[in-house]
Amino acid sequence: MKLLSLYIKSFRGATQPVTVEFDRSKKITMLFSENGNGKSTIADALICLCTDKMGSLDDKSSIDKSFLKSLGTGSGETKITLNTDAGGFSTSISGSAKTFTKNPATGQPFLKFLRRSQIVNLINSQASDRYTALKDYLDVSNIYSGEEALRKALREVERDLDNSASTLQSAIDTLEKCWKEEGSPDVDMLGWAKKQTEVDLSKEESAYRVLAELVAQWQTIGNKQKEINQHQALVTTSEKNKQDFSAILKKLEASSKKNAPALLTLLQEAKTYISAQVTIDKCPVCENGIVKTTVMTSLDAQIKSMSSLQKATKDLDAATKTYDRNVVILNTSIGSINTLLLKYKDSISKYVSKVPEIAPFVNGIKTDPSVNYNLYVDCYTQLQTLYVRIETSAVKKKKSIDQHTLIKNQYNNIIQNAEKAEKLTALKSATSRALVIVETARKEFYDNELLSISSEVEQMYQKIHPAEGLGGIKLFLNPKFKNSLELQANFHTEQGITPQSVYSESHLDTLGICIFLALAKKYSDGNNVLILDDVVMSVDENHLDRFIQLLHDEAINFSHILVTTHYRPWKDRYKNNRAPASNVHFIELRTWSRQNGIRVFNGRIALDELRQMLNDTGNFHRENISAASGRILENILDFLTIKFNCRVPRKPKNDYQLGELLDGLSKDLLKNFKVEHFEKDINGKYSSVLKQVDLKPLIDKLKMLKAVRNQVGAHYNFDGSLVNDGDVEEFGNATVEFAELLICPECGALPDRNKSGSYWETKTGSIKLYPLIEP
Amino acid sequence: MNNINEILAAQIVEKLKAEKLINANDTKLVSKLSNGSMKDADWKIALEEIINTQKVRKSSKK
């Protein structure tokens, strides 16, 4: 997946919308700026878009996510859009939301990133924290979760198997008991049980149901009889009460003629009548004149004098009503029991021949409830005897049926649980084997991954630190602790030491980078984006060159590498063709301001800048051409004098100037000093010589013109003014010619490789530089 | 393939298939295992499936 452009609006340092255009022909993009100009904003934008991480904000202990938005954005939209050759991806934060909404929601480019803080965490932290630092790469927690689920499944299967075995044993014990109770018939208990389950019990069950019905009917009759007995007792009691109150009343009537209940009734009715009249002055019986109040007073007095009679009358009424009610209830119960008796008579009539004692009852039952009830009472003993026989028979049949049912159930239990246990045993075996496979695979995978990564790290590290007595890098999980990632290395004669103890800070830095790079490479399918965000702090020249070389060697494993750095020597290695500049797209960020936001400029190598100055005939800048040519020549000659171990004046800082470097090229060297340029064959390989050029004439020319650099390009003096533009242009053109003869047109690097043992060549093989060493 | 869980899940499932512990045609196990959604019930179903298949084969031979 090639990155084409990145648009950032209102995200962190992007106070103004900014677009970063990527050169799709270059695998590596170098984003250079001094600190605080927006490098991390651009790296973080990609990280926020392509991952669920927050980029450099994740390093901060307390993050206010509102600062994901640029200052002054308010409720406006933050948006990041990435265009690739596989389509567009965007993410945004709208309104007061603090999380990103991605579009599309999935399928973003796969991106890994490395920041300096991660290197520090990786190297300096404890083994458990080191595991956490690499968790994104090494985390197999999903697999472990599945392994735990499998372990749980095994526990459940074992538990089910135990339960099934227990149920099976219980069924066998119960059946064996039944079998022994039956006298251990047949030789085989299960064979016997199987036969028992095949016995047809329908007739037995039918007979039992009939007997059970008779038992139930007789018990219902018995319950009804109890009710009747209770009602009978109430009738007797209430009848006695009625008789007692009647005797009291008769006694009162006999004691005085005035105690006649009829008179009391008359007086009460007269009182009721007169009190209801508004005015009355005549007696309604004799029509004599009366006074209402006088008559009412007299009536009250008479009624009061008859209070005993009044009470006795009321008591007798109440007792009579109670008695009548009890009689009705009793008769109703007798009616109910009659219904039951009629039904029972029908049910037992078939037993008359076998139990003749019940014949009077069966034959005597007619329609009159009272008669039937009395007959039942008379025949109760015979009927109860019959009931006992029926019940005994029912219990016996029930026991027989239950025994068969028990045998059947236990037999079925045994068959079913034996089958279940067989299946569970197979499942337990399969689960156990699966668990061993999963657990072993996980551990082996992890060990192999770490071994493989260790090997890769070692190779990378040796590229940066060859023959330094370092290496032997080994990453491994400490088996004593969970998620504990150990790191060991060699240091000269010491084996398996912790590198933090003895390695220098810059060596630890490169070790951390190599570990991350190896991991990112390991899990990249060649289509992943890698971000190295300011990972190089300060590295010496040699190590920097080797690191750059390593990065270019590994670039093939990624679709795109974005390098951000504030380390100017790194950028200058490219700018001056001391590294494969043609493979790198330069972007420079200029000073950030809130008003202007992030300012992006495409950087160029020094040689391109010189070419442009020479081509810009309308604005011929002699001083800049002279200065730029001088710097380019110093850079190339610095490279050459080192390669050929040339003799130059000894200086404390090795800050040689153009003249010193040119003079460092000895006569013997210049005699043989030549380059061969090759062109590609049909297979894309540089195989046939395109041209061969002796360098001595050009060196001689540059020696003649070298004064231009100081006189025009470095100082203000009278001699400089005397140098004509033609000499300046010639100096510039000779510099370009010299550079083009030595710099690979494909990768942009100088011939720094010794593969043949007889010349230097560029990485691509496009240029060969002779000789290999100064003769 | 970028996800370490996917790589390992694929390796595990291949081994389980080679040992005839799960159905050779199973296509869901890798994704469930790699995305962490594999439950105990899923394992039982996958392992029982092949046990049942083998049982049916034995029965039909008889």
**A504 vs A22: which has the higher pLDDT:** A22
Residues A516-537: what's their mean pLDDT?
88
Q: Which residues of chain A does B57 touch, with a Cβ-Cβ cutoff of 8 Å?
A: none
Residues A742-751: what's their mean pLDDT?
91
Among A340-349, A460-469, A707-716, where is mean pLDDT lowest? A460-469
pLDDT per position as a tens digit, A411-422: 999 999 999 999
Min distance A550 CA to chain B CA atoms (Å): 22
What is the rounded distance in angstroms from the CA atom of residue A31 to the CA atom of residue A562?
7
Q: Report the half-sphere exposure of A642 (CA within 13 A, side-chain side).
A: 15
Judge whether A534 and A56 are in contact, CB under 8 Å.
no
Interface probe for A, chosen from B12, B14, B58 (most Cβ of A below 10 Å), is B12
- In which element (H, E) is residue A5 found? strand A3-9
Among A320-329, A647-656, A754-763, where is mean pLDDT lowest? A647-656
Among A93-102, A314-323, A324-333, A716-725, where is mean pLDDT lowest? A93-102
Name the token pair of A318: 């109440």
Per-residue pLDDT at A41: 94
Report yes or no: A435 at the B interface, CB cutoff 8 Å. no
Share of chain A above pLDDT 90, in %: 61
The residue type of A364 is: G
In chain B, the residue whose alpha carbon lies closest to the alpha carbon of A141 is B36
Q: Which residues of chain B does A528 touch, with a Cβ-Cβ cutoff of 8 Å?
A: 2
pLDDT per position as a tens digit, A371-381: 999 999 999 99
- Residue A583 pLDDT exceeds 90: no
Min distance B54 CA to chain A CA atoms (Å): 11
Contacts of A551 (CB under 8 A, 6+ apart): A28, A532, A561, A563
Among A121-135, A277-291, A506-520, A698-712, where is mean pLDDT lowest? A121-135
Antiparallel, parallel or unpaired: β A111-115 and A529-533: parallel
- Centre a 10 Å sphere on the Cβ of residue A721 and count the other Cβ atoms it contains: 10
Q: Are the Cβ atoms of A142 and B9 closer than 8 angstroms? A: yes
Mean pLDDT taken over chain A: 90
Helix, strand counts (H, E) of chain B: 3, 0
Contacts of A681 (CB under 8 A, 6+ apart): A687, A688
pLDDT per position as a tens digit, A300-336: 998 888 888 889 889 999 999 999 999 999 999 999 9
Per the DSSP assignment, residues forming a β-bridge with A84 are: A3, A87
Min distance A98 CA to chain B CA atoms (Å): 27
Judge whether A757 and A628 are in contact, CB under 8 Å.
no
DSSP state of A581: G
Q: What's this model's pTM, rounded to 2 decimal places? A: 0.63
- Residue A475 pLDDT exceeds 80: yes
Q: Are the Cβ atoms of A153 and B35 closer than 8 angstroms? A: no
- Residue A48 pLDDT exceeds 80: yes
The residue type of A466 is: P
What is the rounded distance in angstroms from the CA atom of residue A18 to the CA atom of residue A35?
18
- Residue A612 pLDDT exceeds 90: yes
DSSP state of A356: G
Per-residue pLDDT at A64: 63
Name the token pair of A449: 């991954």
- Residue A199 pLDDT exceeds 50: yes
ipTM of the complex, rounded to two decimals? 0.95
- Residue A66 pLDDT exceeds 70: no
- Residue A491 pLDDT exceeds 80: yes
- Residue A244 pLDDT exceeds 50: yes
Residues of B with CB under 8 A from a CB of A: 1-5, 7-9, 11-12, 15-16, 19, 21-22, 32-36, 38-44, 47-48, 50-51, 55
Of B1, B4, B51, the CB nearest to A138: B4
- Residue B2 pLDDT exceeds 60: no
**A119 vs A658: which has the higher pLDDT:** A658
Among A208-222, B6-20, B41-55, where is mean pLDDT lowest? B41-55
Among A43-52, A235-244, B50-59, where is mean pLDDT lowest? B50-59
Report yes or no: A355 at the B interface, CB cutoff 8 Å. no
Judge whether A490 and A467 are in contact, CB under 8 Å.
no
What is the rounded distance in angstroms from the CA atom of residue A41 to the CA atom of residue A255?
126
- Residue A258 pLDDT exceeds 80: no
User: What residue ranges in A396-478 does DSSP mark as E strands?
Assistant: 470-477
Per-residue pLDDT at B61: 62
Q: Give me the total of CB pairs closer than 8 Å, taking one residue from chain A and one from chain B.
A: 94
A526: left (phi over 0), alpha (psi -120 to 50) or beta: left
What is the rounded distance in angstroms from the CA atom of residue B6 to the CA atom of residue A523?
11
Judge whether A466 and A192 are in contact, CB under 8 Å.
no
Report yes or no: A526 at the B interface, CB cutoff 8 Å. no
SS3 content of chain A, % helix, strand, coil (to 5): 60, 15, 25
Q: Which residues of chain B does A431 touch, with a Cβ-Cβ cutoff of 8 Å?
A: 43-44, 47
Q: Which residues of chain B does A146 touch, with a Cβ-Cβ cutoff of 8 Å?
A: 9, 32-33, 36, 38, 43
Per-residue pLDDT at B1: 41
Of A140, A430, A441, the CB nearest to B15: A441
- Residue B13 pLDDT exceeds 60: yes
Quick one: pLDDT band at residue A768, thresholds 50, 70, 90?
very high
Residues A649-659: what's their mean pLDDT?
88
Interface probe for A, chosen from B16, B17, B33, B47 (most Cβ of A below 10 Å), is B47
Residues A492-500: what's their mean pLDDT?
84
What is the rounded distance in angstroms from the CA atom of residue A355 to the CA atom of residue A359?
8
Per-residue pLDDT at A398: 94
